[in-house]
Amino acid sequence: MENNTTNHSRRSFLKSSLLAGGGLMISFSGLAKFNFDGKTTVVNGSEEWSEVTGYIKITPDNLIKILNPNPEFGQNVMTSLPMIIAEELDVDWQKIMVEMGPHDNMKLGPQFTGGSNSVRMYWKPLREAGAAARNMLMQAAAQTWAVPVEEITTKAGTLYHEKSGKSGTYGAFASKASAIAIPKGVKLKDIRSFNTVRNSKKNVEGQKIVTGKPLFGMDHTQEGMLIAMIEHPHAFGMKLKSFDATETLKMPGIKDVFSMKLYEDGFEQAGFDTRTFNDLLVVVGNTTWEVMNARKKLKVIWEPIAERKETIAGFRGKNEVTIPAGLESTTTQLAKMTALAKQPAKQLRRDGDPETAFKNAAHILERTYTAPFLAHNCMEPMNFFAHVTEEKALLVGPHQAPGWIEPTVSKILNLPPDKIEIQMTRMGGGFGLRAYGHYVIEAALISKKVKAPIKLVYSREDDMTYGIYRPMYMATYRAALDANKNLIAFHVKGGGIPEHAVHPNRFPAGTVDNYLAEGWEIPSNITIGAFRAPGSNFNAASEQSFLDELAEFAGKDPIDFRLALLKRGKENPVGKNNEYDADRYAGVLNLVKEKSGWNAPENKKYSRGVAAYFCHNSYAAHVVDMVKKDGQPYVERVFSALDCGVVINPDAAINMVQGAVVDGIGNALYGGLTHKDGAAEQNNFNRYRMIRMKEAPKTIEVHFVENNIDPTGLGEPPFPPVFGAVANALHKNMGKRFYNQPFSKDFATK
Amino acid sequence: MAVYNLKINGQTKQVDVDPATPILWVLREHLDMPGTKYGCGVAMCGACTVHLNGVAVRSCQLPVVAVGNKEITTIEGLSENGDHPVQKAWLEHDVAQCGYCQTGQIMTAAALLKANPHPTEAQIDTAMSGNVCRCGTYVRIREAIQSAAKQQ
Ligand code: FES
Ligand code: FES
């Protein structure tokens, strides 16, 4: 087995220390390579590794506490990551305590939630942390009992020496163990012998959630805390010119109204700092309701922003971007896209001779797909608590990657990182939006300015109209077929505002002799950001819908059609850099085919749509069964098949896939944000349609491919192919193809 | 500002607030009961659901002046020890993902089962469709309500 011992390169370390009262605390920093394109898996011994950390605390009375290192936004890390430690530590899951760990960017590594990486990047380091701790306890017991450590065994938090009949709890040896040097090369468990991981465990915060305990950033409060809200322009492309707060300041509970800049001119932003609006008009008062009310009395004059340049130092290097001026509207954006889609675009990949193949084709199929901006609509709007003084800063709230924002907070407040404490609360959703830092920085600056602890609160309207959306997309797919309707060339030309979604090295690249991928982009002042499975969430809609139509045109079953391509991709792949594993891709298609009874006569009554996709290192396939309900298409059942390697917490993983399916159906059918003269036309749930229970399937059956491959992501992979499967089921249900999201806007025109 | 004596979870609580203040914010910011959530402020998400005389209402739309003598129940007072059948069913089905919407979902479900102890699936869907869950936990919510209905 690979990766089966603990490994410590010279930059990694395990530290143990005595707790007050004499317990063992192991703070572990392993090094795992993390790559933001999500391609690289854990590698041993590389200089480029960055630190990841977990904690184990044991008291003499055998209380065992495991600290979750990573921010929780509903993906279950608060439960699943400690399970990994518990497995190797060999403790009784029912008897341990789990707590959110502290944030320590300098010492403890990334601590971020995004890119479906939590389990993947912590898998090995947390196993090592558990195994090393167990070994130290065994050594302590061996010394005390004067027996060889090899004769010590453990079971559920107790150490045994069978020959002498001696036994003792971990707690009894914790103090002694803490003085023992960190062992190297400790053998990790054989995955096949796991008894905590791979067994469903309930959400450790379940009881707190169902009783309404203050878990979220919105719930954070402190003596003397004020509430701050920001009035931002009601249109992209506008900024603050002047304001009159006379009436606002007369309102009850209002303390202050002022304007300030988020970043000073020329500030070099980090990749996730973000700013949609740089001039902040801030209202501060005693309570949220008072501030909300008082904002209505503001008299503000906004003015257009000129074209501007911003320097962004992201993970892929420094980049100067030009933000255009102007008030954009969806209709003109669509017209621009349609025009640019016909112009030459940037080549992203080429195999064979696609032009000749298209020239010689007996049949050509060409289809164009579009998708709108999407708002994240986390149920908990953006918010953050800040208490900034001359000496230090305390920041508390929901963020996916506090460590990415901390350096900027440090620069802006002119405080060293060790004077900045960030506490991570549970997040009421994130979906990518909470990886961005503007609201954290805003909170810090406001607290500094008003010299008081404040909580910055975004209203739903503020949240929905701030930007950082899923981009707006368009893509044209073309396929060339010979006289026997065999696929001989494939061409994707994708565009977006402001970026395209084309992943040139993904399926069906590698399975077609002649292949061309191209991309084009239109800059915009409407800001965008990561949204659950960025790029993939559009590709899997358009490409999987196109493949379905292609299979139909070729007279083939849509699953068999894909499997045949994958067979080609495995046996005789075209080109290099194909990102996916054709076997695992085919594996989820075969599994969903079997579990859904794809060809069973009793399922003929459903309008069935299938789609599969690979992203974030995992494979997902769905069969969507649609019927008519009250005259409208309704997804009644879904069958899902996933391959994400070892599944840590099966029931929680099923929950996540079910959620991704519902989220996917909702966004495919109803999601979308449009603009008129720079202003969002939807600013709350009365205009932005969210999927609701009556539109959610009756059953979503989830199956995992069973293997012992190191775990990969699960938060994102099941989401994208839902769009394609829904589109394909709609075709059966409505008797026509749907090319433009959200699909429900075309229902009436059937 | 005006003084109100509110009956909340079987106790009388006094607050001095603007008459238009929604109960949502009275609970969250004046009475330190943050289990009731803000999601939209326009009666479209259900995160703020409480019971008014046993009936589910959106507390973001309920001004304190309109409450009078009526009894408010919040998630904090739904059961003594977090063991209302609906709460238990929620744990049994491990419904929550991020969890933010769930107190509102639970309050709507508890009011539904009080009025209609054995709802059909369609009745559940209708009653619950005012509560949004971006994490998409609807399938489990529906199952949990069905379990809770059986246990009553
Ligand atoms: S906050 Fe009251 S319904 Fe959304
Ligand atoms: S559990 Fe996250 S919004 Fe419902």
Q: Are residues B36 and B91 in the same domain?
A: no
Q: Which of B82, B130, B135 faces A210 most closely, judged by CB atoms?
A: B82
How many Å apart are CA B40 and CA B38, to the nearest integer? 6
Residue nearest atom 4 of ligand 2, based on CA coordinates? B133
Q: Are residues A167 and A269 in the same domain?
A: no
The CA distance from B12 to the nearest CA of chain A, in Å, is: 20
Decide if A517 is inside a domain.
yes
Q: Are residues B47 and B107 in the same domain?
A: no
**How far, CA to CA in Å, does A133 sit from each of A51, A88, A175, A634?**
18, 9, 12, 52
Furthest CA-CA distance within chain B = 46
Residue of chain B whose Cα is closest to the Cα of A381? B39
| pLDDT at residue A518, as a whole number | 98
Q: Are residues A593 and A617 in the same domain?
A: yes
How many Å apart are CA B104 and CA B49, to the nearest integer? 5
The band of A48, judged by pLDDT with boundaries at 50, 70 and 90, is: very low
Strands A158-161 and A269-270: unpaired
* CB-CB neighbors (< 8 A) of B39 in chain A: 379-381, 460, 685
**Number of structural domains found in chain B:** 2
Task: For residue A53, give the amino acid letter.
Answer: T
CA of A457 from ligand 1 middle (Å) equals: 15
Residue indicated by tokens 């991981």: A197
State pLDDT tens for residues B3-28: 999 999 999 999 999 999 999 999 99
How many Å apart are CA A77 and CA A67, to the nearest integer? 11
Residue of chain A whose Cα is closest to the Cα of B95? A655
The CA distance from B103 to the nearest CA of chain A, in Å, is: 6
**CATH number of the domain encompassing residue B72:** 3.10.20.30
Say if ligand 1 is within 6 A of residue B43 CB: yes
* CB-CB neighbors (< 8 A) of A204 in chain B: none
Strands A308-314 and A632-643: unpaired
Domain boundary residue, one of B16, B49, B77 = B77
Decide if A301 is inside a domain.
yes
Q: B140 and A292 in contact by Cβ < 8 A?
A: no
User: Which of B31, B108, B135, B140 is the best residue to mutate to test the A interface, defined by the most A CB atoms within 10 Å of its own CB?
Assistant: B135
How many Å apart are CA A16 and CA A25, to the nearest integer? 5
User: Please, are residues A153 and A110 in contact by the beta-carbon 8 Å criterion?
Assistant: no
Q: A379 and B28 in contact by Cβ < 8 A?
A: no
User: Please, are residues B140 and A655 in contact by the beta-carbon 8 Å criterion?
Assistant: yes
Task: For residue A621, give the amino acid letter.
Answer: A
Edge-to-edge strand list for the sheet holding A514-521: A346-351, A514-521, A487-497, A472-481, A363-371
Q: B100 and A76 in contact by Cβ < 8 A?
A: no
The CA distance from A216 to the nearest CA of chain B, in Å, is: 8
**pLDDT reading at A44 higher than 50:** no
Decide if A711 is inside a domain.
yes
State pLDDT tens for residues A83-99: 999 999 999 999 988 98
pLDDT, mean of residues A237-254: 98
* 3 state SS of A598: coil
Strands A226-231 and A454-457: parallel
Q: At what angle do helices A77-89 and A118-145 cross, to 10 degrees?
A: 30
Decide if A406 is inside a domain.
yes
**CATH number of the domain encompassing residue A302:** 3.30.365.10
* Lowest mean pLDDT, pick from A121-125, A537-541, A667-671: A121-125
B136 CA: nearest ligand 2 atom = 4
Decide if A84 is inside a domain.
yes
Residue of chain B whose Cα is closest to the Cα of A287? B29
State pLDDT tens for residues A628-646: 999 999 999 999 999 999 9
Q: Are residues B9 and B72 in the same domain?
A: yes
Give the whole-number percent of chain A exceeding pLDDT 70: 92
A146: exposed, middle or buried (Cβ count in 10 Å: 0-12, 13-18, 19+): exposed
Q: Are residues A415 and A435 in the same domain?
A: yes
Q: Are residues A86 and A229 in the same domain?
A: no
**How far, CA to CA in Å, does A160 sit from each of A133, A166, A425, B112, B152?**
16, 6, 39, 53, 47
How many Å apart are CA A257 and CA A290, to the nearest integer? 13
Q: Are residues B95 and B130 in the same domain?
A: yes
Say if ligand 1 is within 6 A of residue B130 CB: no
User: ipTM of the predicted structure?
Assistant: 0.99
| pLDDT at residue A105, as a whole number | 60
Q: Which of B40, B126, B135 faces A685 most closely, judged by CB atoms?
A: B40
State pLDDT tens for residues B122-137: 999 999 999 999 999 9
Task: For residue A717, give the amino acid letter.
Answer: P
Q: A211 and B75 in contact by Cβ < 8 A?
A: yes
Domain boundary residue, one of B77, B112, B130 = B77
Q: A210 and B96 in contact by Cβ < 8 A?
A: yes
Q: Are residues A144 and A248 in the same domain?
A: no
CA of A427 from ligand 2 middle (Å) equals: 10
Decide if A283 is inside a domain.
yes
Say if ligand 2 is within 6 A of residue B135 CB: yes
Instruction: Give residue A495's domain range.
Output: 346-357+469-746
| pLDDT at residue A524, as a whole number | 96
User: Which of B15, B93, B133, B141 is the best residue to mutate to test the A interface, defined by the most A CB atoms within 10 Å of its own CB?
Assistant: B133
CA of B29 from ligand 1 middle (Å) equals: 16
Q: Are residues B73 and B9 in the same domain?
A: yes
Mutate to test the pocket of ligand 1, among B48, B100, B105 (most ligand atoms within 8 A of CB): B48
**pLDDT reading at A25 higher than 90:** no
The band of A109, judged by pLDDT with boundaries at 50, 70 and 90, is: low
**pLDDT reading at A419 higher than 50:** yes
Element (H, E) at A26: strand A24-32
Say if ligand 2 is within 6 A of residue B23 CB: no
What lies within 8 Å, CB to CB, of A317 at 6+ separation is: none
**pLDDT reading at A10 higher than 80:** no
Decide if A319 is inside a domain.
no
B43 CA: nearest ligand 1 atom = 3
**Number of structural domains found in chain A:** 3
CA of A217 from ligand 2 middle (Å) equals: 15
Q: Are residues A579 and A528 in the same domain?
A: yes
Q: Which of A210, A293, A662 faces B136 most closely, judged by CB atoms?
A: A662
Q: Are residues A572 and A626 in the same domain?
A: yes
**pLDDT reading at A46 higher than 50:** no
Residue nearest atom 3 of ligand 1, based on CA coordinates? B43
A659 CA: nearest ligand 2 atom = 1
Residue pairs between chains A and B whose CB atoms are closer than 8 Å? 194
User: Please, are residues B56 and B49 in contact by the beta-carbon 8 Å criterion?
Assistant: yes
CA of A192 from ligand 1 middle (Å) equals: 47
Residue A31 phi/psi, 5-degree rounding, is -130, 120
State pLDDT tens for residues A470-512: 999 999 999 999 999 999 999 999 999 999 999 999 999 999 9
Task: For residue A51, give the amino acid letter.
Answer: E
State pLDDT tens for residues A262-311: 999 888 888 888 889 999 999 999 999 999 999 999 999 999 999 988 88
Residue of chain A whose Cα is closest to the Cα of B60? A289
Q: Are residues B91 and B144 in the same domain?
A: yes
Q: What is the DSSP string of A197-210?
A: TTS----TTHHHHH
Q: Are residues B72 and B19 in the same domain?
A: yes
Domain boundary residue, one of A457, A480, A513 = A457
Q: B38 and A73 in contact by Cβ < 8 A?
A: no
SS (H, E, C) A394-439: EEEECCCCHHHHHHHHHHHHCCCHHHEEEEECECCCCCCHHHCCHH
Q: Are residues A350 and A443 in the same domain?
A: no
Say if ligand 2 is within 6 A of residue A209 CB: no
How many Å apart are CA A502 and CA A494, to the nearest integer? 6
Residue indicated by tokens 């067994």: A199
**pLDDT reading at A38 higher than 80:** no
* 3 state SS of B75: helix
Q: Are residues A179 and A122 in the same domain?
A: yes
State pLDDT tens for residues B29-78: 999 999 999 999 999 999 999 999 999 999 999 999 999 999 999 999 99
Domain boundary residue, one of A404, A427, A457 = A457
* CB-CB neighbors (< 8 A) of B95 in chain A: 655
| pLDDT at residue A392, as a whole number | 98
Q: Are residues B106 and B139 in the same domain?
A: yes
Instruction: Give residue B45's domain range.
Output: 2-77
Q: Are residues B73 and B108 in the same domain?
A: no
Say if ligand 2 is within 6 A of residue A429 CB: yes
Q: What is the mean pLDDT of chain B?
A: 97
Residue A243 CB neighbour total at 10 angstroms: 17
Closest ligand relative to B56 C-alpha = 1
**pLDDT reading at A604 higher than 70:** yes
Q: Are residues A241 and A98 in the same domain?
A: no
Domain boundary residue, one of B25, B51, B77 = B77
Tokens of A490: 């494939």
| pLDDT at residue A327, as a whole number | 97
pLDDT, mean of residues A534-542: 97
How many Å apart are CA A233 and CA A216, to the nearest integer? 27
Closest ligand relative to B28 C-alpha = 1
The CA distance from A70 to the nearest CA of chain B, in Å, is: 14
Q: A696 and B47 in contact by Cβ < 8 A?
A: no
Alpha-carbon torsion (A342, A343, A348, A350), positive or negative: positive
**pLDDT reading at A460 higher than 90:** yes
| pLDDT at residue A333, as a whole number | 98
State pLDDT tens for residues A683-736: 999 999 999 999 999 999 999 999 999 999 999 999 999 999 999 999 999 999
CA of A161 from ligand 2 middle (Å) equals: 48
Residue A150 CB neighbour total at 10 angstroms: 8
Q: What is the mean pLDDT of chain A?
A: 91
CA of B51 from ligand 1 middle (Å) equals: 14
Q: A460 and B39 in contact by Cβ < 8 A?
A: yes
Residue B138 phi/psi, 5-degree rounding, is -55, -40
The gap between the terminal CA atoms of chain A, to the nearest Å, is 56
**CATH number of the domain encompassing residue B114:** 1.10.150.120
Furthest CA-CA distance within chain A = 84
Residues A425, A714, B139: CA angle, nearest 5 degrees: 80
Q: Are residues A585 and A678 in the same domain?
A: yes
**pLDDT reading at A529 higher than 60:** yes
* CB-CB neighbors (< 8 A) of A684 in chain B: 40-42, 44
Q: Are residues B10 and B28 in the same domain?
A: yes
Residue nearest atom 3 of ligand 2, based on CA coordinates? B133
**How far, CA to CA in Å, does A21 sit from each of A57, A61, A81, A170, A197?**
12, 10, 27, 15, 31
Strand partners, A426: A216
**pLDDT reading at B79 higher than 60:** yes
Q: Are residues B56 and B103 in the same domain?
A: no
Say if ligand 1 is within 6 A of residue B132 CB: no
Say if ligand 1 is within 6 A of residue B23 CB: no
Q: Are residues B102 and B68 in the same domain?
A: no
pLDDT, mean of residues A206-219: 98
* CB-CB neighbors (< 8 A) of B22 in chain A: 289
How many Å apart are CA A42 and CA A32, to the nearest integer? 6
State pLDDT tens for residues A307-322: 988 888 877 788 888 9
Closest ligand relative to B62 C-alpha = 1
Domain boundary residue, one of A141, A164, A197 = A197
Q: Are residues A21 and A133 in the same domain?
A: yes
CA of A723 from ligand 1 middle (Å) equals: 28
Decide if A46 is inside a domain.
yes
The band of A55, judged by pLDDT with boundaries at 50, 70 and 90, is: low
How many Å apart are CA A158 and CA A666, to the nearest integer? 49
CA of B74 from ligand 1 middle (Å) equals: 14
Q: Which of A216, A655, A696 faces B94 most closely, judged by CB atoms?
A: A655
State pLDDT tens for residues A322-381: 999 999 999 999 999 999 999 999 999 999 999 999 999 999 999 999 999 999 999 999
Note if the bond before A498 is cis, omega within 30 degrees.
yes
Helices (H) and strands (E) in chain B, counts: 5, 5
Q: What is the DSSP string of A258-299?
A: EEEESS-TT--EETTT--S--EEEEEEESSHHHHHHHHTT-E
Closest by Cα among A241, A211, A231, A91 to A159: A91
